[in-house]
Structure 1
């Protein structure tokens, strides 16, 4: 009997030793899942769409540029700016006016929703977004029904729908604007301010209150029709992120269209882009007028933006519809 107990103790000791060695081996084995949540994301679905913006995080080019933690939309909680961000942002349009940024933010969110928008990403969500630019390549495209099928339809600046419904659709959930491009909005549309300068924030406050701001660097609308409960403000940090990470400091600052595509990549699971680029004849003008545009003009690194958008398409992060 004593012999049996000694054998049992020996086997138990050997078993525990083996389990300890096995545990140490598996903890250091590269085949075992890491405790790093970023590593886990590589193998987990990020949305329920057929293709997702995040997808499998195995593209070094995309991972280097895409920062899922960057604040896309401003609220009180995330409004504090890094010193270098504030300096760069204010430098986009130097002004002699001394403005207290914190006071402006407080005024903004005493009037408009102070919310953490679009923080509901997950494997069960499939949010489809159409970014609709203003290129003449939309004419005779018949994209209207396809554009309207998306959950979110983001239009840029003054691009109208009336009279162009067959090609551009009728649905507008979000309208990107700033003082110099302001238009009246339907009550159901989100006004998304792109504040390229602090004066833009002051203008937004003024349009819903005193209406005293009538000029920035040009004459602007003193008021517009819009739903104050659907106002959103792009975070200045996001503009600098677009410039640093995505534009690699080409140009002076990114274009509205380019930033809008990046915004969609951060709030949507699947992004389709319409109305960007030249028409089938190679001309650059709006679908709603004959105003000539060109991606190489102005303060934006248009060539670099164009190349970057095509790289995003090549990597299945966006789909670009050319209209021809």
Structure 2
């Protein structure tokens, strides 16, 4: 009887152990299966908020409201390279329409020259759950004066500046670091060797100018005088994609104005290459004045850029926690 009792107890223990191991196996399977879903299907919209990036908050979080989701397109080509340079008829027609004159320049020919000179890469393709790239977009508003934002701005991984906005003499308020400067020929300035030149090509002539400043230096005029050359590192040259410009115009500016302002375009560009975006130097001063921090010239919201609508959109992005808008102290 004792032997029989022992046998029964062993069988009972064996069943318990088998049940425990089976349950554990199922739980482990479900855990790793869910992890695989987060990793493998992130690009298809199944990923959780955690999978979007490694920051506390992520621009590309899948937990977006309808307003943002209807506008934000993570698949849009934002920088030009040889493999994505072909433009469909609608985009080419719209982009050429910005140029205000009959165009006789062969776009494909110009692109071929561009990428024989400059990096032909798929930039910023490293997005993922382990990346936390912080970016400061620094505009040129007078509200930066006496803000003491300089040290905060310089803490960011990327610091994107716009057109001619200087740092020298204003470091306390605007910082000294610049990783990317978005410009076009008429707003060009010299750069140091640590800064990327990001061209905003309103027209094919802008691309030709970019080629010229590193080669023949023969282009000195567009609709106004432009520098024949500037200090810049050709290995750090990037070119915004015409399709991206149209996308910002259609989806974010909703067609207000002729085309997006450089500042607004830079901000939306940052939403596509960064995980956290802090915005400085946009908007009026506390007294309602619209002027640059580096001179007394007044800026205005012309019909060319639909500035009122851009300003409203920037504030709504702040309300949606997609950017943090720092308004300065003046």
> Please, what TM-score do these two structures have when normalized by structure 2?
0.86
- SS at 1:49 equivalent: coil
Residue 65 (str. 1) matches residue 71 (str. 2): yes
- Distance in 2 (CA, whole Å) between partners of 1:95 and 1:156 is 26
Residue 268 (str. 1) matches residue 280 (str. 2): no
- Distance in 2 (CA, whole Å) between partners of 1:301 and 1:200 is 22
- CA shift, 1:248, in A, is 1.2
Residue equivalent to 1:3: none
- Distance in 2 (CA, whole Å) between partners of 1:158 and 1:107 is 27
- CA shift, 1:45, in A, is 2.3
- CA shift, 1:42, in A, is 4.6
Residue equivalent to 1:236: 242
Residue equivalent to 1:29: none
- Distance in 2 (CA, whole Å) between partners of 1:43 and 1:144 is 31
Give the alignment partner of residue 255 of structure 1, picking from 229, 252, 261: 261
- CA shift, 1:141, in A, is 0.2
- CA shift, 1:280, in A, is 1.5
Give the alignment partner of residue 318 of structure 1, picking from 301, 315, 323: 323
Q: For residues 179-190 of structure 1, what are the structure 2 equivalents within 5 Å?
A: 179-190=185-196
Give the alignment partner of residue 77 of structure 1, picking from 77, 83, 94: 83
Say if 1:42 and 1:58, in contact at 8 Å, map to a contact too.
no
Residue 197 (str. 1) matches residue 203 (str. 2): yes
- Distance in 2 (CA, whole Å) between partners of 1:287 and 1:36 is 45
Residue 164 (str. 1) matches residue 170 (str. 2): yes
> What count of residue pairs does the alignment treat as equivalent?
291
RMSD after superposition: 1.5
Residue 49 (str. 1) matches residue 55 (str. 2): yes
Q: 1:39 to 1:207 in 2, by over 3 A?
A: closer
- SS at 1:146 equivalent: helix
Residue equivalent to 2:313: 308
Give 5+ residue unaligned stretches, structure 1: 1-32
Give 5+ residue unaligned stretches, structure 2: 1-36
Give the alignment partner of residue 105 of structure 1, picking from 93, 108, 111: 111
Say if 2:45 and 2:62, in contact at 8 Å, map to a contact too.
no
Q: For residues 272-283 of structure 1, what are the structure 2 equivalents within 5 Å?
A: 272-283=278-289
Which segments of structure 1 move beyond 6 Å, counting only runs of 4 or more?
33-36
